[in-house]
Every structure is written in C-alpha cells, then in structure tokens.
Amino acid sequence: MKRLMLALSLTLSAAALTPAPVLAGATDTDEERAARWSEIKASIFGDRKVEASESAVKIDAPVRALDAALVPIGLTLADKDSVKGLYFIIDDNPSPYAAHFTFGPAADPGEIKMRVRVNNYTNVHAVVETKDGRLLESAKFVKASGGCSAPMGMSDEEAMKGMGEMRMKFVGDVQPGKPAEATLMVRHPNFSGMQMNQITRDYTPARYIQKLDVTYGDKLVFSLDGDISIASNPVINFAFKPEGQGPIKVVASDNQDGRWQHAFPVPAASN
Amino acid sequence: MNAPVTRRAALFGGFCLCCLPRAGFAVDAMTMEEVAPGTFIRRGFDAEATPENADGIANIGFIIGRDGVLVTESGGSLADGQWLRREIAQRTDKPIRYVMLTHVHPDHVFGAAAFRGDNPTFVGHASLRGALDARGAFYRQRLAEILGEERAGEVVYPTMEVKEGAEIDLGDRTLRLTAHGHAHTSCDLSMLDTGSGLLFPADLLFVGRIPSLDGSLLGWFKEIERLKAVGATDAVPGHGPTRVAFAPAMADLARYLSALRDETRKAVASSLPIETAVRTVALGEKDKWALFDTYNGRNVTQAYQELEWE
C-alpha cells in the first residue's frame, strides 16, 4: 500500500509540472534526491538499515540514455556466494521499485543484466540483500526522459503480438563446474499504464510481467518480481550452476492473469 | 525549454543563424525550389526540432495540378505548415485538395493543422490512425515544449486511408500511392507523380541525413525493392536535397542499412550486449551522414531488438 501511494504521489506531481516534464528532475538538488531515496527506502525496507557499499554491487548504466524506453543496466555483485536477493530502484520513475530478484541454489548471481525504462533524470539504486540479512546499496545517476510515457510501438494491438513467446540463449558451452551464462527473452508489451490513447484520452492500462520464475531441474535459479519500469519485451541475462537435470523452466505471469510457461533444454557440453 | 541557439541548431543545413537577416525564425529564411514544373519543394534543415527551425526539418512542398493542389508533406509544426500554406498562396489560387500524411513522425504530420480550413482530403496509410493514437499526444507534447503550445499544431487524422494502393487524379496527372509494409515506420506511404515522373518515397529515402529506424529493418529492404520496381529516375527524398537521382541515393541508404543489419546480427550472434553494440555497430558510416551520433545508437537499439528474435 505504501508503495502504491508513493507511486501515486509522484505521478500527480509530474502531471502538475506539465508542460515541461522533459527537464523535470534535472534540476533537483542532491538534498532533494537524498530525501527521495530515504522515502523510497523506507517504503521498501521499513526501518531496516541499508548500508552504502559501492563495492558490493556495481551498476553499469549509460550516463545519458540513447533510448529512454530501453536503458541497458548491468549489475555486478562482488560476493556472489553471500547474495540472497537484489533490488533495483529507479528513484524518479512513477513506480520506482523496478525489480527484485530472489536467487535460488541453482543461481550464480555474479552478474545480472536487464533493460529498463527511465522517465527522468534520476538516481538509480541497486540494493543487495545478503544471506545473513544485510542490505548493501550503491547508486548511479542516469540522464533520460520520457521512458515510461514514451509509446513503445505503433499501436497497442501490435505491441501485444506474440505475447508470452520466449527464447533462451546460452552463451558458449555449458560445462560442469563452470557457471553458465544465459539470456532469457520474453515477448510482452509491459505496458506502463502511462501511454495515452489519443482518441479516448485514456491511458492504456498497465499490463506488465509481475513474476518470472526460472528453475533448473527442481532448483530455483531466480525469481523476479517485476514492475512497469522493465522495458517492453523483457530480456534478462543471468548465470546458473550447470548441475541440474533436465531443462530450464520459465514461468511468467502478468498482472492481468496472463500466464506462460516454457522449457528450454540446456545444451550439453561439447567435449 | 528556453533553448537559445544550440551549436547543432546553428550548424544545420548550411544555414547559420548568425547570418539571418534578423533574429527571427530560421523557417522564414527557407525557400521553395521548383523541382519540376508546378512542383515546389523546400529542403528541411538537417537538424533536430528547435524553436528557430519550427521543426521544419523534412522536405515539404506541393504539386499544382490542373484541378487543384496536392501538398506532398505538410510540415513539422503548425508554424511550418502555415509557412507552406503562404508559399502556396503566393503561387496559385487553386484549391488545396489533398494533404499527404506520409507517416506518423512529427516532422511530417504537425503542419497538417494549417490546412484544416481548406477542408482538403488528408491522405494516410491505413495504419496511420493507430500509430497516431499511440503516439500523437506524446509527440504533440514534446513539440509544444520546444516550440510553445501555439506553434506546435494538433494531431490530424487521415480522412482517406490507403490499404495497399490508391490513385489521386489532379486532372492533368495521376498520383499513384503505395502503402508500404513496416520499414522506416509502420505506416509509410509513397507516391509517384505520373505528370513529372518524380517518385516521392517520403522517409523511405533519406539523403545525407542519417536514416532513422522505427519500423522494421528487414522490412525496409523489402520496400526498397518495391520502390526500385517503380522505375522512377528521380526522387524527392524525405530529407536531403529536394531532387536526387533515385538509384545512387537509394544505394547509399541501403549501404547504411546493410551495415546496421549485418553488424547487429554479428553482435547478437556473438552475444555482444546491446550497450556495447550501440557503440560499435555501423561506425564505418559515421562520416557519411549528418546527425550520425544522434541517431545511430538508437537505430542499433531498434535493430538489435528486431534481430535478436530472428
């Protein structure tokens, strides 16, 4: 509920600023940004302590986004064996809480890549949750504007084509004892709820992937709670421990009861 | 945005703002060129939209036929469209019968509002309406932020929708329209003037200014073949000189798109991430196009998203 209210208040203030939201956020002071982050932190983590640690998680993001509707983000985790989960937050997005990964025993959580929308000049934060319950944050400033309200395609109908289709690409050979890299691609418009229809003056209702569960054999690789800040046609790069049996299974569900499931055979090691 | 004169704005199209007769709008300094008898085109600035250029960045113009005027492109804003309308009025008192809306991009549709009072037929691709639904309001808002509300214009919908092909008769000539598959955008409309033999490919042909990809890269190659099959010698590109020899200009465009396609495919195949690809793909084309740095990375982003699903 807290999160919903936060999203709402930010949306309203953005609306009040029209017609000049392009540079909104660009002029915020460091104090204002810090205050916003404190507010967001409290809404997500309550009164838990979040320690600054630039070394625990490194954020790779373009300083200035070429395409605000598709901003590539790389997160590198220093001490991957101690990691339980990973949060990614885009402070000035209408719904800042972008993604939460929970890693399972089949994960090799050294690096995660994904694509997000960035609506404004904003700080982005990554927060690592360790197995012993610590929260470690790092931040980066990104310049972009309009990613959430920018229409993604030419029409809603077109954006819905092939919804739920998936691909999995494996990088190189999968060899026992060596973490294997993979890229999961999901066709889904991930409507942000901020894209306006000109005739009805209505917004295309938010429709986004809420949950992605990736398992290998009977073990969890990761579970992702997603939100409207994930770019359309989500693509996630991750790594797993190639010790499972059988295919990698992906179950995706969205906030409108869409549910899709696919299984991908893991390529055998070529000797 | 109170952007005074940015460096980019000051450099476009061979014009430089400091040489303008007064500190007014650059669009006032533009001139029409008669590219064929009764066919007038204004070259757009090779720039992004600025308050000074009024988003007059596309090649716009008109054909004076026996029975009336056809506007080949309406302009990038209400201000740009009004300027074009004055240029028409200086040359003919025939009625403005048709206004082409060649695709959804703002530099090609926001001038249309200037012609509403003439009650013309607004002609667009059958998919233009949906595209305007999805993007019109967003484009208008962004344009208003740059030019101001009163100069931006309104979204105008087509009143004649072309599904595959259509013909327009201006008495002394026929205009043959083709609705294209996904290429530059999802709603590209081209036109052949049987009077002059000139092809109007709109933004399926960029000359000098880097093409922008917003539809389908692979689709664009297909539509290039269809345009070639028309057999026109000369064309009026959407951006660049007002009249060019079609074959070599299209060959340049195809060369860029090929570099974009082939190098993006390579990047996808070798798991080169998108953030690296935007910095490395098609760099061999860098010196050949205006605004390369502004658009190439975005084009790679588009191409990557299309080709990674191959």
Report the residue from A22, A60, A74 with minimal CB separation from B1.
Answer: A22
Q: Summarize pLDDT for A91-104 with one digit per residue, the tens.
A: 999 889 999 999 99
Give the gap in angstroms from C-alpha B118 to the nearest C-alpha of chain A: 23
| CA dist., res. B24 & res. A209, Å (int) | 50
Q: Which residues make Cβ contacts (< 8 Å) with residue A129, sequence separation at least 6?
A: A83, A84, A85, A86, A87, A135
| CA dist., res. B60 & res. B72, Å (int) | 6
CB B238, CB B201: distance < 8 Å: yes
Q: Which residues make Cβ contacts (< 8 Å) with residue B299, sequence separation at least 6?
A: B210, B211, B212, B213, B260, B282
Q: Cβ of A151 under 8 Å from any chain B Cβ?
A: yes
pLDDT at B272: 93
Per-residue pLDDT of chain B (310 residues; tens, 9 = 90+): 333 334 343 334 334 343 333 334 565 667 999 999 999 999 999 999 999 999 999 999 999 999 999 999 999 999 999 999 999 999 999 999 999 999 999 999 999 999 999 999 999 999 999 889 888 888 999 999 999 999 999 999 999 999 999 999 999 999 999 999 999 999 999 999 999 999 999 999 999 999 999 999 999 999 999 999 999 999 999 999 999 999 999 999 999 999 999 999 999 999 999 999 999 999 999 999 999 999 999 999 999 999 999 9
Using CB atoms and an 8 Å cut-off, which of residues 191-210 of chain A contact chain B? 195-199, 201
- Token representation of residue A178: 């060596």
Q: Summarize pLDDT for A169-178 with one digit per residue, the tens.
A: 998 778 888 8
Q: Cβ of A27 under 8 Å from any chain B Cβ?
A: no
Counting one residue from A and one from B, how many pairs have CB atoms under 8 Å apart? 84
Helix axes B292-307, B217-230, angle to 10 degrees: 110
B137 and A198 in contact by Cβ < 8 A?
yes
Give the gap in angstroms from C-alpha A172 to the nearest C-alpha of chain B: 9
Q: Is the pLDDT of residue A82 over 90?
A: yes
Give the gap in angstroms from C-alpha A129 to the nearest C-alpha of chain B: 26
Q: Which residue has the tokens 């390529």?
A: A267
DSSP chain B: ------HHHHHGGG--GGGSSSSS-GGGG--EEEEETTEEEEPPPSS---TTTTT--S-EEEEE-SS-EEEEE--SSHHHHHHHHHHHHTT--S-EEEEEE-SS-HHHHTTGGGGGGG--EEEEETTHHHHHHHHHHHHHHHHHHHH-HHHH------SEEESSEEEEE-SS-EEEEEE--SSSSSS-EEEEETTT--EEEEEEEESSBPP--SS-HHHHHHHHHHHHHH--SEEEEEESSSSEEHHHHHHHHHHHHHHHHHHHHHHHHTT--HHHHHHHTTGGGGGGSBTHHHHHHHHHHHHHHHHTT-
Q: Cβ of A20 under 8 Å from any chain B Cβ?
A: yes
- Token representation of residue A95: 């719904």
A23 and B186 in contact by Cβ < 8 A?
no
| CA dist., res. A220 & res. A96, Å (int) | 26
The helix/strand/coil state of A2 is helix
Give the residue among A241, A234, A232, A237 at the shortest CA–CA distance from A266: A241
Give the gap in angstroms from C-alpha B163 to the nearest C-alpha of chain A: 16
Q: Cβ of A60 under 8 Å from any chain B Cβ?
A: yes
Chain A nearest-CA residue for B131: A154
CB A223, CB A92: distance < 8 Å: no
Residues of chain A in contact with residue B185, where contact means CB-CB under 8 angstroms, are 154
Chain B nearest-CA residue for A168: B309
Give the residue among A36, A208, A221, A205 at the shortest CA–CA distance from A117: A208
Mutate to test the interface with A, among B147, B149, B210, B271 (most CBs of A within 10 A): B271
Tell me the ipTM for this assembly.
Answer: 0.83
Give the residue among A72, A81, A181, A63 at the shortest CA–CA distance from A128: A81
Report the residue from B131, B142, B271 with minimal CB separation from A154.
Answer: B131
A155-162, Cβ contacts within 8 angstroms, sequence gap of 24 or more: A155/B127, A155/B130, A155/B131, A155/B133, A155/B134, A155/B186, A156/A189, A156/A191, A156/A197, A156/A204, A156/B134, A157/B130, A158/B130, A158/B186, A159/A189, A159/A191, A159/A232, A160/A189, A161/A187, A162/A187
Q: Cβ of A265 under 8 Å from any chain B Cβ?
A: no
B133 and A197 in contact by Cβ < 8 A?
yes
pLDDT at A1: 36
Instruction: Count CA within 13 A, CB hemisphere, residue B280.
Output: 14
- Tell me which DSSP letter residue A81 carries: G
> What does each C-alpha distance from A80 to A56, A105, B291 come to in angstroms?
9, 12, 42
Residues of chain B in contact with residue A181, where contact means CB-CB under 8 angstroms, are 271
Q: Cβ of B276 under 8 Å from any chain A Cβ?
A: no
| CA dist., res. A151 & res. B171, Å (int) | 41
Mutate to test the interface with B, among A160, A198, A200, A203 (most CBs of B within 10 A): A198
Q: Which residues make Cβ contacts (< 8 Å) with residue B225, sequence separation at least 6?
A: none
Give the gap in angstroms from C-alpha A132 to the nearest C-alpha of chain B: 33
pLDDT at A151: 64
Report the residue from B1, B138, B186 with minimal CB separation from A196.
Answer: B138
The better pLDDT of the pair A65, B246 is held by B246
Q: Cβ of B238 under 8 Å from any chain A Cβ?
A: no
B132 and A198 in contact by Cβ < 8 A?
yes
